[in-house]
Chain A
Amino acid sequence: MDFDFSEDQEQLRDAVRKWVDKGYDFERRRAIVNAGGFDRAVYTELAELGLAGLYVSEEHGGMGMGPVEAMIAMEELGRGIVLEPLAQTLIASAVLQTHAPADVQSNWLPRIAGGEAIVVLAHQERGARHHLDRCKAEAKEAGGQWTVSGTKSIVPVGDVADAFIVPALASGQMALFLVERGAAGVKTEGYVTQDGSRAAEVAFSNSPAQLITKNGLTALQEAADIGSACICAEGVGVMDKTLAITAEYMNTRKQFGVVIASFQALRHRLADMKMQLELARSMSYYASLKLKAPETERRQAMARARYQLGTSMRFVGQSAVQLHGGIGVTDEYIVSHYFKKLTQLEMTFGDTLHHLGEVSSRMQDTAGVFA
């Protein structure tokens, strides 16, 4: 039982934090949002920091790091509300590394690690909401060649990514496929989402695909749980910064002739934000440290963590806006962008009510960190 970070981990944190502070200020971010929500140059900078290869084994040119390092990186990116989708890269590299055949791995993992290729998960369907097992896309095999047909929604950087990991039904069973964006029959329609990042509707029509695994649901659940751990960590980073921004504002803004930090009603709300942040940070640790646990234990842990994070993110985001007053609801000032990021995170890979349902249906007679 030890929650200290190693020296290497602290160095990783420092490196990412420095890049965020110096290389990703609010003005650069705003320009990226206005230009469509994604900047390949930024993604390349993340790759140069080694982050794109964080989960990729050294054999394939990555850093071969684990969930704690991923958590650290995501926290720091969260502090800068970075738009470029590192979480997707972590998910894709883990899925390919665990499940894909050797040729797919050697073809894609080195390019993912180097930042040359961006691979994202394209799983969301209109009828599925948060249920991973609901899938209408279909895959067919003919003459040793798979093809995929179907439509996926809100695919992160879907019109920029180089390839997709796509769940589709093969003879009624969910399997995962890799489909290149440039493949025949792939159509994308990009847009900006509420947090300023980029996404797309992606339609596949008999598009050539490579099979990753026929054990699709298990792999997709793993992917979603890696995504959930990323959301927890990123959310902690976003909230940490949100709290700091709010405290600073309260210490400078004057009304009735005094700084508003002197008002107890406001101080108590700030204390409640701190509570929500520290509970969330605790549960983010818990999520990352349980990511490699056996499936039942892992999924229970992820649901618990996401319920806490969802509750915390909503409270911290709403409170930060409220404590700022009018300036909090403007586009010009930074805090509304943190609020929108927290809102979007809460609704990704299952929202808070969904995860509450998961906790509720998984309850045992005993409960605790170790049960």
Chain B
Amino acid sequence: MDLAFTPEELAFRDEIRTWVHANLPKEISNKVHAAQRLSREDMQRWAKILGKKGWLGYGWPKQFGGPGWTAVQKHLFEEECALAGAPRIVPFGPVMVAPVIMAFGNAEQQQRFLPGIASGEVWWSQGYSEPGSGSDLASVKTRAERQGDKYIVNGQKTWTTLGQYGEWIFCLVRTSTEGKPQTGISFLLVDMKSPGVTVRPIKLLDGECEVNEVWFDNVEVPAENLIGEENKGWTYAKHLLSHERTNIADVNRAKRELERLKRIAKAEGVWEDTRFRDEIAKLEVDIVALEMLVLRVLSAEKSGKNSLDIAGLLKIKGSEIQQRYTELMMQAAGPFALPFIFEAMEAGWQGHFPGGVVANAPLASNYFNMRKTTIYGGSNEVQRNIVSQTVLG
């Protein structure tokens, strides 16, 4: 047992740190550190910088052009990016659909889709949830009917994150209504420029349009876009959900945001208030404990000795922490978090923010936005069902 990273791992971290510092544009990291609004261009600019280096698909094995890093190396990469203020990698392409294409797609599909994902050129979206299928994902109703060498897709997806920028979307579609709901689902890749696809942004409680409804009206999709076998899509989707284990905890971002919370608390004069500072102290312990939990998972993956079936715990705790730091940031600013000036969340805004501290502008919006984290990706209540199953056997 040893807490320290190996000299090789530390050298790796230094290499990543040096590279990120040299290549992450300052105007982007400044926005991230201040929680200002990121544009599509910001996100894609960073994705392409990573893509050029071969690191956008940082979790990919070498045979598909990835760096072939270990679990620990991946963690260190995520940590360096997060602490430096890099935008989160938009996961739908490199982290979500790519592993499915690698595991279940044919060689032609791999050659066709993976390069555009690895380079950051093609923006992917996720077509899972539907108005009637939230936590109960297996109940999806969007139909795909085989007609010759194509599928005709009809239905509606929703909560499609950043779908307004999407060029391709991977969908769970119903190809059979026989048997259990899970057995009639297929995994289909759809070009969002196809006739019949309509994207409608949904305005959320913070005023942003982060998610969308995506409508399919007799959309023709070539049958060659089906991943794997028809009616096996649920298996592939589960593979996708189980693929990212520690990333979901997002502990590295939490460490960065804890630093920001402390800066805000000092600027707002509540750092010296024991009652307030103790709340930060509790969060600090939470974050250290979560980091240790993540490190335990990484260690288990490294040695292959003890498997740790605690993905549900990582999701629950990670999401609660994300909500907590945004909540405390808002509370630190108190009434000066209340003015809602949409433009003040843009970098370079020249107006006067009430109270004079423009850094307070996004705090309430961030708090409202983060309520999603305990709902998406399998709500925390669903996660608790899963965790209790592992305990009760």
Contacts and interface: CB of A to CB of B under 8 A. Distances in A.
Interface of A: 1-6, 9, 68, 243, 247, 250-251, 261, 264, 267-268, 270-275, 278-279, 282-283, 285-286, 289-290, 304, 307-308, 356-357, 359-360, 363, 365-369
Nearest to A284: B292
Given A268-B384, A274-B387, A286-B289, 14 more contacts: A1-B2, A1-B72, A271-B383, A271-B384, A275-B317, A282-B292, A285-B1, A285-B296, A286-B3, A363-B277, A363-B280, A367-B258, A367-B288, A369-B288
Chain A CB within 10 A, most for which of B286, B288, B312, B316? B288
Contacts of B305: 4
Contacts, number: 143
Contact of B310 (A2, A278, A289, A290): A278
Nearest to A272: B384
B281 A363 contact: yes
A356 B278 contact: yes
A230 B295 CA distance: 22
Contacts of A304: 284-285, 288-289
17 contacts: A2-B303, A3-B295, A4-B300, A243-B391, A247-B392, A261-B392, A275-B316, A279-B317, A285-B1, A289-B1, A304-B285, A360-B274, A360-B277, A363-B280, A363-B281, A366-B255, A367-B288
A250 B381 CA distance: 19
Contacts of B385: 264, 267-268, 271
Contact of B313 (A2, A3, A261, A278): A278
A270 B313 CA distance: 12
A124 B228 CA distance: 68
B281 A282 contact: no
Which 5 interchain pairs have the tightest Cβ spacing?
Answer: A282-B292, A267-B388, A360-B281, A271-B387, A271-B384
A264 B383 CA distance: 12
B392 A251 contact: yes
Nearest to B1: A68
Interface of B: 1-6, 9, 72, 255, 258-259, 262-263, 274, 277-278, 280-282, 284-293, 295-296, 298-300, 302-303, 305-306, 310, 312-313, 316-317, 381, 383-385, 387-388, 390-393
B224 to A, nearest CB: 43
B255 A5 contact: no
Q: Which secondary structure characterizes the binding site on chain B?
A: helix
Q: Which secondary structure characterizes the binding site on chain A?
A: helix
Contacts of B390: 274
B285 A3 contact: no
B282 to A, nearest CB: 7
B388 A268 contact: yes
Nearest to A280: B289
A363 B302 contact: no
Nearest to A262: B392
A1 B298 contact: yes
A290 B5 CA distance: 14
Contacts of A250: 392
Given A1-B72, A286-B3, A363 B293 contact: no
B79 to A, nearest CB: 9
Nearest to B256: A366
Contact of B391 (A271, A282, A365): A271
Contacts of B286: 279
A283 B292 contact: yes
Chain A CB within 10 A, most for which of B263, B293, B310, B312? B293
Given A267-B384, A359-B285, A274 B391 contact: yes
Contact of B259 (A5, A247, A366): A366
Contacts of A367: 255, 258-259, 284, 287-288
A283 to B, nearest CB: 5
B219 to A, nearest CB: 39
Nearest to B287: A367
B16 to A, nearest CB: 15
Given A2-B299, A308-B285, A369-B291, A270 B392 contact: yes
A289 B5 CA distance: 13
Contact of A2 (B259, B280, B302, B387): B302
Contacts of B292: 282-283, 285-286, 369
A357 B284 contact: no
Contacts of A251: 392-393
A147 B263 CA distance: 52
A243 B255 CA distance: 30
A3 B295 CA distance: 8
B391 A307 contact: no
Contact of B3 (A5, A6, A264, A290): A290
